[in-house]
Amino acid sequence: MTAIVDAAGVTKSFGKVQALAGLDLRIESGQVVALLGPNGAGKTTFVRTLATLIRPDTGTVRVAGHDVVSQASKVRAAIGLAGQHAAVEEAMTGRENLEMVARLYGFGTRQARVRANEVVEELSLDEVAGRRVRTYSGGQRRRLDLGASLVGSPRLLLLDEPTTGLDPRSRIELWDAIRALASDGTDVLLTTQYLDEADQLAARIVIIDQGRVIADGTPSALKAQAGGDVIEIHTRDSSDLAAAARSLNRVAPEAPVVDPATRRVSLPVDAGIERLTSAARALDDAGIAVEDISLRRPTLDEVFLGLTGERIDLPERKSA
């Protein structure tokens, strides 16, 4: 199989800030890949490099076999980009937006209309396509933006944080649309800050931190690497937190994390269900009143902690 994305040793700095620090990534055709990482990890910079919007300082980046610097126009013909903002014109209708993009891909007037209608149908935008975008909800706007990136029938669809800022229902609708595209054979590379989003959509998750790939694999492999599931309890009284942490400490090798503000103790575990029962028993034995107890997937924060030993939101990381 050919590589749809082939990046080697990519660096990019903006002034003193190094956004990409030797990123290597090869993506085979035929899958959805999620780039996961905290704010400032370099995800957007990498996507913008793939989209020929910025040139790498060093290293090579090829998209669909074409170099993003020397063969930029070929790359542009092969990609569709939906960035963090819904880059659609508010004063025009959805259909007019799509027709405009089609014209810019070189379609004639009539063909552009046909192509726009196809995209309208593909993304179920029929009801709103005749209305000005000004009247759209956030979700409809994003869906139209996704549609605009599809007009040129791209081989690779680049989605930069496609659901950031959307309500849960719009998010799920957009996920469905992305899944449908992927099953039609479009390669998708998306960036996200949400582990569940990557988990939902991608067959492969690439975790980026400080401009480098720090982990790469299937969602389940990564989660196992990060310590599997998490047991989380809420105590009724904050005075019980320390005792709860002590009891939980005996259940698994990892140390529990206490968050006094939310009266929560969380514990990374490998084999979820058995540990949950022993945790419940340990708390019961200690006579701790628990508001609720649950087993959940780790958050990106916890995956990060597992991979790097650092928390995402440390102040010195933000300034880095």
Partner 1 sequence: MTAVTAPTRAPSLLSASVVVARRTTRKFLRTPQLVVVGTIQGAMFLLIFRYVFGGAIHIGDVPYVDYLVPGFVTTSVLFAGMTTAAGVAEDLDQGFVDRLRSLPIPRAAVLAGRALADTGMITWNLAITVAIGFAVGFRLHGTMAEGIAAFALCVLFGFAFIWLFVTIGLVAGNAQAAQGMSLLVFPLTFVSSAYVPVSSMPGWMQPFAEHQPITAMVDSVRALCLGDSAQSLLGHSAGYYIVPALLWSAGLIVVFGSVAVAKFRRG
Binding status of residue 67 toward partner 1 by CB under 8 A? no
Q: And the tokens for 268?
A: 């990374």
How many residues sit close enough to partner 1 to count as binding (CB under 8 A)?
40
- C-alpha 122: how far from chain center: 23
Binding status of residue 172 toward partner 1 by CB under 8 A? no
Q: Which stretch binds partner 1 (CB under 8 A): 86-94, 222-230, 287-295, 310-318?
A: 86-94
- Measured from the CB atom, the residue of 92 and 172 that comes closer to partner 1 is 92
Binding status of residue 178 toward partner 1 by CB under 8 A? no
Binding status of residue 223 toward partner 1 by CB under 8 A? no
Binding status of residue 106 toward partner 1 by CB under 8 A? yes
Which CA distances in Å does 303 have to 27, 67, 88?
22, 33, 35
Please pick, from the candidates 10, 23, 107, 304, the single residue that binds partner 1 as defined by CB under 8 A: 107
- Give 298: exposed, middle or buried? Use CB within 10 Å, 0-12, 13-18, 19+: buried
Torsions phi, psi for 141 (to 5 deg): -60, -45
Q: In the bound complex, what is the minimum distance in angstroms from residue 76's beta carbon to partner 1?
A: 4
CA distance 128 to 103: 21
Binding status of residue 254 toward partner 1 by CB under 8 A? no
Strand-pairing partners, residue 10, are: 23
Q: Give DSSP secondary structure letters for 168-215.
A: HHHHHHHHHHHHHHHHTT-EEEEEES-HHHHHHH-SEEEEEETTEEEE
- Measured from the CB atom, the residue of 101 and 267 that comes closer to partner 1 is 101
Binding status of residue 216 toward partner 1 by CB under 8 A? no
Q: In the bound complex, what is the minimum distance in angstroms from residue 69's beta carbon to partner 1?
A: 12
Instruction: Reduce the DSSP state of residue 273 to 3 states and report it.
Output: helix
Binding status of residue 98 toward partner 1 by CB under 8 A? no
Nearest to 99 by CA among 81, 158, 89: 89
- Measured from the CB atom, the residue of 139 and 152 that comes closer to partner 1 is 152
Where does this chain bind partner 1 (CB under 8 A)? Answer: 48, 51-55, 73, 76-77, 79-81, 83-87, 89-92, 96, 100-101, 103-107, 111, 114-115, 118, 122, 132, 148-149, 152-153, 184
